Amino acid sequence: MTAIISGSELASDLTGENPPVLLDVRWQLTAAKAPGEPAFDGRAEYAAGHLPGAVFVDLDAELAGPPGPGGRHPLPDLDVFGAAMRTVGVSADRDVVVYDGGQGWAAARAWWLLRWTGHPSVRVLDGGLAAWQGELSTRTPDPEPGDFVPKPGETGAVDADGAAALARSGLLLDARAAERYRGDVEPIDRVGGHIPGAVSAPTTDNVGPDGRFLPREQLADRFRSLGAVSGTEVGVYCGSGVSGAHEVLALAVAGIPAVLYPGSWSEWSGDTSRPVATGPDPQ
């Protein structure tokens, strides 16, 4: 089982006797849009055309809790998350494939949550919707309810203290854009900068122009150059635990296990007692 699947592989799997559950998680960071533009509506995008049989999942409502001290996209209430997954047909004994509009961040968030809560077989459509060569559908399916019950793993996630410790004892990667890491700009959170000791590693550098992940060995070389060597524990954070999940996925493609700090910079920077580093140097 790999973490990603190509469009052609998915098309083949969908014709099998036990096709995967398809989840459409189209989402965009509204704050990143130009002033005056309407908020992105993932559900409307889904309704306009989606992979046949796919069911829409709302990242803000079902893959995250309400914004607050825990960040802009804190971990969801597990009862809410579990109920949402069962409603869209997720069962423990059936493969799941997740996709989004192409950026990969939202799909990776769903992938990470399902994996962290115990689902054994989840993959992301590499390249998102654009990787699908078949026809799209406007029909909303009514799936049979699933039986998945989320059970968080003992590993896979860290809190703010755990992230701080990883920055000292292991490797903590910051998946945001380099200018936010340095603190040159901060369009969303209270203050710019990074967790002291964290290394800048924009997740956008893990994909090619088509939005698909770079080859496994190329990714492995990149992460090794950043310090992900054998025996080093690796963690990732971002702005709010979404693009960071995409970096964890890239690490998985490279064969490197990593944990996610879900609260990420939105939680860290919201706590005025936490230290903030600026500039290109980790410290």
Per-residue pLDDT of the chain (283 residues; tens, 9 = 90+): 589 999 999 999 999 999 999 999 999 876 555 667 777 888 999 999 999 999 999 999 999 999 999 999 999 999 999 999 999 999 999 999 999 998 899 999 999 999 999 999 999 999 999 999 999 999 999 999 999 999 999 889 999 999 999 999 999 999 999 999 999 999 999 999 999 999 999 999 999 999 999 999 999 999 999 999 999 999 999 999 999 999 999 999 999 999 999 999 999 999 999 999 999 999 8
241 is catalytic: no
DSSP character at residue 164: H
Could you tell me which of 124, 129, 132, 128 has the C-alpha nearest to residue 4? 124
DSSP character at residue 67: S
**Strand extents, DSSP E, 150-224:** 171-174, 199-200
Of 106, 195, 236, 238, which is the active-site residue? 238
Q: Tokens standing for 272?
A: 């005025």
CA 190 to chain centre: 22
Pairwise CA distance, residues 270 & 259, whole Å: 21
DSSP character at residue 163: H
Rg (CA), the chain: 18
For residue 267, CA distances in Å to 8, 68, 74, 99, 186 come to 39, 8, 9, 27, 14
